[in-house]
Amino acid sequence: MSWGFSTLLEQFSYKTYKELLELLTRENRSVCFEDCPLPNNLTPYFILRHDVDFYPEAALRIAELEAGMRIRASYFLLFSSPFYNLLSESYCRFPKRLIELGHEVGLHYDLRAYGAMGGTNSVGTLFDECEILKKLTGRRVRSIAMHNPSLSGADPFRNLKELVNAYDDQYTTEIAYYSDSCGAWGNDAVAALRPGHVPAQLQLLIHPFFWDEASLHRLDRLNRFIEERIANLRTGAETLESMWANHPRLIEYENRRRKQG
């Protein structure tokens, strides 16, 4: 394969994502946070992580691609997302599907949402969400990752013994750590993610939202996502209108209004 790595990390298509995974698996073994702590003699490895902030549909497409390549990843799901509801009919089967594909499902927790709830027992809220996620996956939650760490301040859960924290120093500073946050790679990632330069141990954070069949600018991707959500809302509104139109109580109400008017 010819590796055009001067442009590879500028493209956010499934084709280039697959090429990136092929590069990583040349020398490094795919592991998940639930495998930690890792044995000292483990061969070179990478931890592939996904924070699902917006778009479970995109995450599922990425998960299927990875499963087809026999690669496992750790998916962190968010209960406080304004864009999807894990307890809804549309998404309640999504966590279990990730498990079926061979991936790990961890909790993506939002400290600002915890603060908005009031109270002081944020640890209790965290474990409550872990328990709900366990019911959705059929598997105990082993790992957690903070949502929007640059905006939420200090992480009170960095030292929980019961759970692996994806932002612990041993996964972010003691090994290499690269992220496509905001749909952009840093210079350090561009320098490292090319043949002959991949670190022996690394965590790679990928946000599925930015990836699709064709590479798009992040704002074009966002606009397409907005259009899709608007279309879904319109479909939901049409379903609601149909339900109202055929509801016996509403029919009684309209008939009574006509008689009175």
Q: What number is the average pLDDT over the span 147-176?
A: 89
The residue among 138 and 39 whose pLDDT is bigger is 138
Q: Would you say residue 4 has pLDDT above 70?
A: no
Query: Among 68-77, 118-127, 196-205, which stretch is predicted with the lowest mean pLDDT?
Result: 118-127
Torsion angle, alpha carbons of 51, 57, 63, 67, to 10: 170
* Phi, psi (rounded to 5 degrees) for 243: -65, -45
Q: What is the pLDDT of residue 91?
A: 96
Q: Would you say residue 205 has pLDDT above 90?
A: yes
Query: Among 66-70, 200-204, 211-215, which stretch is predicted with the lowest mean pLDDT?
Result: 211-215
> Which residues, in sequence order, are CB contacts of 143 under 8 Å at separation 6+?
32, 33, 34, 36, 74, 76, 104, 106, 107, 163, 164, 165, 166
The residue among 62 and 39 whose pLDDT is bigger is 62
Q: What is the pLDDT of residue 146?
A: 95
Percent with pLDDT over 90 in the chain: 63
Percent with pLDDT over 70 in the chain: 96
Report yes or no: 109 and 158 within 8 Å, Cβ to Cβ: no
The residue among 254 and 134 whose pLDDT is bigger is 134
Q: What number is the average pLDDT over the span 209-217?
A: 90
Q: Would you say residue 235 has pLDDT above 90?
A: no
Q: What number is the average pLDDT over the span 154-160?
A: 88
Q: What is the pLDDT of residue 42?
A: 79
Q: Would you say residue 165 has pLDDT above 80?
A: yes
Q: What is the pLDDT of residue 1?
A: 37
* Phi, psi (rounded to 5 degrees) for 30: -80, 125
Query: Among 57-66, 71-80, 97-106, 113-122, which stretch is predicted with the lowest mean pLDDT?
Result: 113-122
pLDDT digit string (tens) for 23-40?
999 999 999 999 998 887
Q: What is the pLDDT of residue 5?
A: 52
- pTM for the model: 0.89
The residue among 225 and 133 whose pLDDT is bigger is 133
Residue 157, token pair as written in the block: 């859960």
Report yes or no: 39 and 172 within 8 Å, Cβ to Cβ: no
The residue among 227 and 60 whose pLDDT is bigger is 60
Mean pLDDT of the chain: 90
